[in-house]
Amino acid sequence: MPINWDYEPEVIDSQRDDDSLVQKHGKISFRYISRPPQNFWFIRPHALNYFKDGVLHRTKGERSSSTLELFVDLLYVGLITNLAGEAAKESTGLSLLKYFLYFMPIWQVWCDIKDGVNYYYNEDFTQKLYVFFIIVLLMFYANSHSKAPESLQGAALTIVPYMIARVSLATLYLFYSCWIPQHRLQMRFYALSIYVTSCLWIIVIFVGNRAKVGVSIAIFALENASFIYAYSPMIKRTFKLTMSTALNLEHEIERFSAFVTVAIGEYPYKAVATAPIGAGFNIRLARGVFMLLIAYILFWIYNYGSTIQRRVHPLRRSATTACLFIYSHLPLIAAIVLSADASGDLIKVENGSTKRGATGLTHDEHQSAGSEALVLLKRSVVQAASAGEEESHNMFGLSFYFAGGIGVSLLSMWVLGMLFKDEDEKCTFVLPRWARIGWRLPVGVGIAMLPFAEMDVTLLMGMTSVMLGFVFIWESVFQTPTATWFKFNLVEPAAIAREEEEENRAHRHRQSPRASQEYEDTIEERKPSVSP
């Protein structure tokens, strides 16, 4: 008897009261599908979401981050902190370039895990082993990457773990494609592209350091271009696919939100780890308060998003906005982590000057040096020993990392906010969306320019906090609905809810005969009775 490799899930009636879960990010035709039988050791691979003839098919219920993903996030806290800390030690343009090059593989592997869980997660034993294997490779990468520019062996110890992680994903996709006809062509195309790009990394091991930079950037671009093509409508048109991949939006949104939250959490972590502020009231306490305020405001600005009530999410709006939404998080997360680590170094320096060429001693170093004369002597010795190179506490570089990182973060949040499709009525808010979140753009540029003023560290952090506070207050005030300001209801919330329910019912009316009858019965019930 031949083996039936293809799993065809049972389509379940989608006419349920929880339709708002699917429709809240934008209207779409959909069906619910069943899962295969559960098993601890091995669950038959299956697609959790896919499109078939333009209709979304997905499993029931809201999907949030799994416990396994949260565990992986703990590892990423250490990975990104390690990279940012190394960059902040030198605070130069070269260290910034290294930070980007070392951050990209971590970002790529995180996206691989995120996408695999979004499409195929079933939490069986084989997937648990796969994720643990990837974690081990990441640990190996994190402890070897600093040796990459020094020798051929160091480059191999850094690049090979990343290659193995990528090839493992491709092999897993090829294996899964035997059971998943809905994604088969896309999975195999993407797996093939991973094999090709992974082989290209061998070149990076053997070329010089300057060539390593150019070749690495080119391969990163090729990896992401192949990903975009493999999961975009272009491949559907090219191969005339009737079934293709589909994202579970609530899971995708939550994963990015969790990663951003982890990144912002570096600010309070740096303010309390190793007790950099010291006991009592001092100038470092003010800097610590500014750090917490900056983190708090960035967290809320990100969660404010577009400040729109009725919207279509970028992941559902179009393929272009979906790609922009995903890749806008790359500079956002990288910039936040770098800024947080730089602020942790700025908070503990005794010398508050951020002028070019200025170096800083920490409070402990200042105390151990004794008198002011010894402090000056120690600083001159350190500068002489560096022989013209940048010292570890390069104050101007740190201030640029700190303020520039926040500026890039605000610009990324502005882009993310503008990607949503606005479906609010014109009278819903006092100001349109572009005016409500528009201050993110000039304020972000302004904060990024602050280091060129070469001001004191405390003043720099204070000015940054004030400018962010202005954006926070502006958006908090003007995202308040007009009806709340003027004490009248332009449209009652209950009426909005009824209107949305009518739209959902009308949508189901076009999908199912049974839903059509229910819709007609409801309309009849809501008609006012007329006495003879």
Distance (Å, rounded) from C-alpha 84 to C-alpha 265? 14
With 80 as the cut, is the pLDDT of residue 364 above it? Answer: no
With 60 as the cut, is the pLDDT of residue 384 above it? Answer: no
Q: How many CB atoms sit inside 10 A of residue 1's CB?
A: 3
What are the φ/ψ torsions at residue 30 (nearest 5 degrees)? -150, 165
**34-43, 140-149, 260-269, 461-470: lowest mean pLDDT where?**
34-43
Amino acid (one-letter) located at 167 = V
Considering the chain, what percentage of its residues have pLDDT values greater than 90? 48
Residue 511 DSSP class: T
Mean local confidence (pLDDT), 240-257: 91
Question: Higher pLDDT residue, 67 or 204?
Answer: 204
With 70 as the cut, is the pLDDT of residue 423 above it? Answer: yes
- Three-state DSSP class for residue 11: strand
- pLDDT value of residue 379: 52
What are the φ/ψ torsions at residue 51 (nearest 5 degrees)? -100, 140
Distance (Å, rounded) from C-alpha 192 to C-alpha 171? 9
Is 170:191 a contact under the CB 8 Å cutoff?
A: yes
- pLDDT value of residue 280: 77
Mean local confidence (pLDDT), 358-367: 53
What is the 3-state secondary structure of 180-240? Answer: CCCCHHHHHHHHHHHHHHHHHHHHHHHCCHHHHHHHHHHHHHHHHHHHHHHCCHHHHHHHC
- pLDDT value of residue 28: 83
Q: What is the pTM of this model?
A: 0.84
Range ranked top by mean pLDDT from 2-6, 17-21, 226-230: 226-230
Is 515:505 a contact under the CB 8 Å cutoff?
A: yes
Question: Higher pLDDT residue, 127 or 61?
Answer: 127
Is 238:258 a contact under the CB 8 Å cutoff?
A: no
Region class of 455: left (phi > 0), else alpha (psi between -120 and 50), else beta: beta
Distance (Å, rounded) from C-alpha 89 to C-alpha 386? 13
Considering the chain, what percentage of its residues have pLDDT values greater than 70? 80
With 80 as the cut, is the pLDDT of residue 242 above it? Answer: yes
Range ranked top by mean pLDDT from 20-24, 146-150, 348-352: 146-150
Region class of 453: left (phi > 0), else alpha (psi between -120 and 50), else beta: alpha
How many residues does this entry show for the chain? Answer: 532
Structure tokens at 58: 């997905």
Q: What residues have CB less than 8 Å from 10, skipping those under 6 apart?
A: 33, 34
pLDDT tens readout for residues 309-346: 888 999 999 999 999 999 999 999 999 999 999 999 89
Is 50:7 a contact under the CB 8 Å cutoff?
A: no
With 50 as the cut, is the pLDDT of residue 388 above it? Answer: no
Structure tokens at 235: 């491949």
Mean local confidence (pLDDT), 106-127: 88
pLDDT tens readout for residues 400-409: 999 999 999 9
pLDDT tens readout for residues 455-483: 899 999 999 999 999 999 999 999 988 87
Q: 362 has which bridge partners?
A: 349
Distance (Å, rounded) from C-alpha 64 to C-alpha 72? 15
With cut-offs at 50, 70 and 90, classify the pLDDT of residue 200. very high
Task: With both helix axes pointing from N to C terminus, report the angle between 395-418 and 319-346 in degrees, rounded to the nearest 10.
Answer: 150
Range ranked top by mean pLDDT from 32-46, 205-219, 274-288: 205-219
DSSP letters along 480-498, please? S-HHHHHTS-SS-HHHHHH
Amino acid (one-letter) located at 286 = A
Is 85:274 a contact under the CB 8 Å cutoff?
A: no
- pLDDT value of residue 150: 87
Q: Where are the domains of the chain?
A: 11-59, 319-486
Residue 247: how many CA atoms within 13 Å on its side-chain side? 22
- pLDDT value of residue 292: 95
pLDDT tens readout for residues 138-159: 999 999 988 888 889 999 999 9
Q: What is the mean pLDDT of the chain?
A: 83
Residue 394 DSSP class: B
- pLDDT value of residue 284: 84
- pLDDT value of residue 505: 61
- pLDDT value of residue 72: 87
Q: Are strands 11-12 and 421-422 parallel, antiparallel or unpaired?
A: unpaired
Q: 49 has which bridge partners?
A: 58
DSSP letters along 333-363, please? HHHHHHHHHHHHHHTTBS-----TT-B--BH
Dihedral angle sign, alpha carbons of residues 411, 412, 417, 421: positive
CA separation, residue 424 to residues 56, 413, 435 (Å): 25, 20, 14
Helix (H) or strand (E) holding 55: strand 55-59
Distance (Å, rounded) from C-alpha 409 to C-alpha 444? 8
Distance (Å, rounded) from C-alpha 186 to C-alpha 227? 10
Structure tokens at 402: 């700190």
CA separation, residue 147 to residues 203, 384, 392, 452 (Å): 17, 26, 19, 33
- pLDDT value of residue 369: 45
Spatial CA neighbour of 404 closest among 474, 337, 356, 328:
337
Dihedral angle sign, alpha carbons of residues 77, 80, 86, 89: negative
Helix (H) or strand (E) holding 402: helix 395-418
- pLDDT value of residue 500: 64
Question: Higher pLDDT residue, 5 or 123?
Answer: 123
With 50 as the cut, is the pLDDT of residue 528 above it? Answer: no
Distance (Å, rounded) from C-alpha 131 to C-alpha 165? 10
Structure tokens at 48: 């959790």
Distance (Å, rounded) from C-alpha 442 to C-alpha 461? 18
The separation between the first and the last C-alpha atoms of the chain, rounded to the nearest angstrom, is: 71
With cut-offs at 50, 70 and 90, classify the pLDDT of residue 9. low
Spatial CA neighbour of 127 closest among 166, 172, 165, 164:
172
With 60 as the cut, is the pLDDT of residue 514 above it? Answer: no
Centroid of chain to Cα 418: 16
- pLDDT value of residue 188: 96
